[in-house]
Amino acid sequence: MPIKKYSSQDLQKKLHTLPEPLQDAILSINTSEAIKVIGQKNSLHIDQVGKLGEEVLYAMLGLTKPANFIDELEKELGVTPEIAEKITTDLNTKIFIPVIESLKNNEYKDTDYLDKVVEETKSVSINSDQKIPPEDKAPATNLAPNTAPPDFFEKKMSHLFTSTADLRAGREEVEEYTPPPSAPVDDKAPLATNLPLAKKRPEGLDPYREMPQ
């Protein structure tokens, strides 16, 4: 079984470092459904779609350098450079650019790394709009079907995005919490006079001196 690049704990920590507008923008896009559609369009089998979801999440969290994104898709999905470029074009259209626009509509301008993902792939995206002959497409590496029932797909992809849902739930819980008011102090309240007092030590008694028998 291949080793994941990042653990769930790593992803959760990274999610917590993102500013709220970026968290909201990522959560507002139906990323899972978009990835499913892109996978079907590019004839990816189930395992490849799962890998695609991971790579998209890494890019959105800023964990993958934009210049390396297409190479990562090619390596992790096991597809040709041409197919990786076509997939990137679809990702730009359906995920990355909508997220950027959502941020800008909310007057949040710090979209540098997502902008770079789009910019770095712009030239190859234009070239990849040309139709690729069927013989140039990467063959499937196994006999798994290219499509799957929605419930199976959701189970396959759910581990990638539950952390973002948990993040939002945790943040809302913190925002809604209001500490209880402190009890008022009554300056006129009588002082307690019946508290037990410490016994006085007899004067001149040496505590280390041996007591007489």
Report how far apart, in Å, the C-alpha atoms of 22 and of each of 64, 107, 155, 178, 203 are.
Answer: 17, 11, 25, 25, 73
Residue spans of alpha helices (H) in the chain: 8-17, 20-28, 31-41, 46-60, 69-77, 81-91, 97-105, 112-120, 122-127, 150-176
Nearest-10 Cα torsion for 93, 95, 101, 103: -170
The more confidently predicted of residues 142 and 48 is 48
Does residue 27 register a pLDDT over 70?
no
| pLDDT reported for residue 91 | 93
As a whole number of angstroms, the distance between CA 192 and CA 143 comes to: 83
Does residue 136 register a pLDDT over 90?
no
Domain ranges of the chain: 18-132+148-176
pTM: 0.59
Reported confidence tier of residue 149, pLDDT bands at 50, 70, 90? very low
The pLDDT of 131-143, averaged and rounded, is 38
17-21, 179-183, 196-200 — which one is most confidently predicted on average? Answer: 17-21
The pLDDT of 191-195, averaged and rounded, is 50
**Pick from 14-23, 88-97, 143-152: least confident:** 143-152
